[in-house]
């Protein structure tokens, strides 16, 4: 069964717009995580960025104490954040690139170019009992590098697919890239997640990508929650995952 991880960063973004720099405020990412789990989500994702623009340190510690499914900590590969992860012990860490000027994560890691540093961090996290995923573009060179690094998962960046969704030719080319990357990853014994820009309209087309374990989705679900409520938004997204073919 294809699983759904909910990225709650966007709940924290709304809180920080009003309560930046305070240790309280609404909406509460912790409460959002509870609602998502109650609605059937298989995991909770939180991105602790270097600039702390949305999720804060106290958020991840509270989530670690309360998440009952699977806590996925997204972070960039810096000594400070690696130290936090080693103490926090989330179920999985997804290593992502960061640029201060970006609004959201715009691309995948250069796993091939950062092989040594990523391997060292992967080893340290694994030794602490934490699984490691690398957020990469659907590029075969990067998939092969992820396997050499020893990651347990890759998360395929679906942003280009989402951006080109309304161009039939463009989206088909991106789907072909995603399929090829997923097939190669499977052959290399990597488990495959995917995320970025996925929504209620474009997700069904992703069913042709084989070997997917989990989709991580945030913005679209939080946006839908404004009108339908968070629990209903999660339920609607879960319904779209049910037709994913078993392989």
Distance CA 211, CA 191 (A): 8
Q: What is the DSSP string of 40-72?
A: T-SEEEEE--TT-SSS-HHHHHHHHHH-SS-EE
Q: Catalytic pick from 37, 74, 131, 174?
A: 74
Q: Which of 42, 174, 196, 214 is catalytic?
A: 196
> Which is it for the CA torsion 126, 131, 137, 143, positive or negative?
positive
Closest CA to 146 of 171, 121, 174: 121
- 219 included as an active-site residue: no
Q: Where are the alpha helices (DSSP H) in 135-167?
A: 140-149, 159-163
Is 166 a known active-site residue? no
Q: Which residues contact 194 (CB under 8 A, 6 or more apart)?
A: 155, 156, 158, 178, 206, 209, 212, 214, 215, 216
- Give yes or no: 74 in active site: yes
Active-site entry in 10, 47, 54, 157: 47
Which tokens go with 180? 């090829």
Q: What is the Rg, in whole angstroms, of the alpha carbon atoms belonging to the chain?
A: 17
Q: Which residues are catalytic?
A: 47, 74, 196
């Amino acid at each position: 069964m294809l699983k759904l991880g909910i990225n709650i960063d966007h709940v924290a973004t709304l809180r920080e717009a009003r309560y930046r720099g305070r240790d309280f405020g609404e909406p509460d990412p912790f409460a959002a995580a509870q609602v998502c789990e109650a609605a059937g989500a298989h995991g909770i994702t939180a991105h602790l960025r270097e600039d702390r623009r949305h999720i804060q340190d106290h958020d991840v510690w509270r989530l670690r104490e309360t998440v009952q499914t699977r806590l996925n900590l997204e972070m960039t590969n810096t000594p400070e954040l690696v130290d936090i992860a080693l103490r926090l012990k989330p179920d999985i860490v997804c290593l992502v690139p960061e640029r201060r000027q970006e609004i959201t994560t715009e691309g995948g890691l250069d796993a091939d170019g950062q092989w040594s540093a990523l391997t060292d961090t992967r080893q340290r996290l694994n030794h602490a009992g934490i699984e490691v995923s690398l957020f990469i573009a659907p590029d075969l060179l990067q998939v092969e590098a992820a396997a050499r690094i020893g990651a347990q998962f890759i998360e395929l960046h679906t942003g280009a697919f989402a951006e080109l969704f309304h161009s039939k030719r463009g989206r088909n080319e991106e789907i072909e890239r995603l399929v090829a990357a997923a097939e190669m990853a499977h052959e290399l014994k990597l488990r495959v997640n995917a995320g970025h820009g996925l929504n209620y309209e474009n997700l069904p087309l992703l069913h042709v990508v084989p070997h997917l374990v989990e989709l991580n989705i945030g913005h679209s679900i939080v946006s839908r929650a404004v009108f339908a409520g968070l629990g209903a938004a999660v339920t609607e997204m879960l319904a779209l995952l049910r037709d994913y073919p078993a392989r």
